[in-house]
Amino acid sequence: MAVTGVLRPGFVQLRVLDLGEAIVHYRDRIGLDMVGEATDGRAFFHAFDEFDRHSVVLREADSAGIDVMGFKVSADSDLDHFARRLEAMGVGTEEIPAGEMPGVGRRIRFTTPTAHVFDLYAQMDLSEDGPPVRNPDVWRRDPRGMRVERFDHCALSGVDIAATARIFREALDFALTEELVDEGSGARLAIFLSCSNKAHDVAFLSYPEDGRLHHASFNLESWHDVGHAADILTRYDMSVDIGPTRHGITRGQTIYFFDPSGNRNETFSGGYHFYPDNPVRRWDGSHAGKAIFYYERQVTESFMTVTS
Ligand SMILES: [Fe+2]
């Protein structure tokens, strides 16, 4: 499979209540490298194994949550192509000029029926201390904290997740990899979408309020690193949601916790490889326990109700 069009999740901009506390969390505990701080108070980070300038942006605000998730596309012409297809579906777009976000080219912005804001962009400056490419060592500096390799995906909560998923599938060529469906009503409870051969690049979860962040997720190299993340969480008395455990859906090995502002984070490893000819994996709502937490076989109250 040649990955074209939308390549991958590129960045997430999160709102935090106290930028200083958040920097300690994302830099020292999760292990991201801080790139710089813009004059408008945003702080920029990237993981040690990411080439681009930044993948996480923190913005100090009065409420926690997500401002925008960005997807990188393979060519500048893709931006016009996808803008036309979004508009044809009745999804309004706006162009944000190059440079509004430091190091990033022009962006096409749209908002989903679940009130989540997404940007498409084709160009971002390379990081000055990204992964080596000539006779490359495994990393440039010893990974820190939880040793996350990359920003991986977001799970976003809202009301009409089926309508939002339709936009990603029909206008942006995402594939449906897996879904959790109420077998009585047929309502989608959770939808997992991929633009690559990952089990998911974005997920949408049914929730009574729009525009909410369920979690922002970072990839780890191994199940052993999930245990190491658990050690970090306990060593620094951080707020744990659940784990280490495993998902039935995507089969990722995972641990969930909260940043100091109440944004849920995930660090995970594993999961299957997806190819576009794979049948859709479908879970019945009556099997939601195993689907979501394969070892506990039941869903926790906090995981279903807490968003930011
Ligand atoms: Fe996740």
Distance 275 CA to ligand 1 centre (A): 19
pTM here is: 0.97
- Of 28-42, 216-230, 265-279, least confident by mean pLDDT is 28-42
The span from the CA of 214 to the CA of 211, in Å, is 10
- Does residue 11 contact residue 151 with C-beta atoms inside 8 Å? yes
Distance 154 CA to ligand 1 centre (A): 6
Q: Mean pLDDT for the chain?
A: 96
Scanning the structure block, which residue is given the tokens 């984070």? 265
Q: Is-catalytic flag, 266?
A: yes
Q: Is-catalytic flag, 81?
A: no
Distance 203 CA to ligand 1 centre (A): 8
Instruction: State the distance between the two ends of the chain, measured CA to CA, in whole angstroms.
Output: 36
Which one from 54, 200, 214, 228 is the annotated catalytic residue? 200
pLDDT at 147: 98
Average pLDDT over residues 226-251: 98
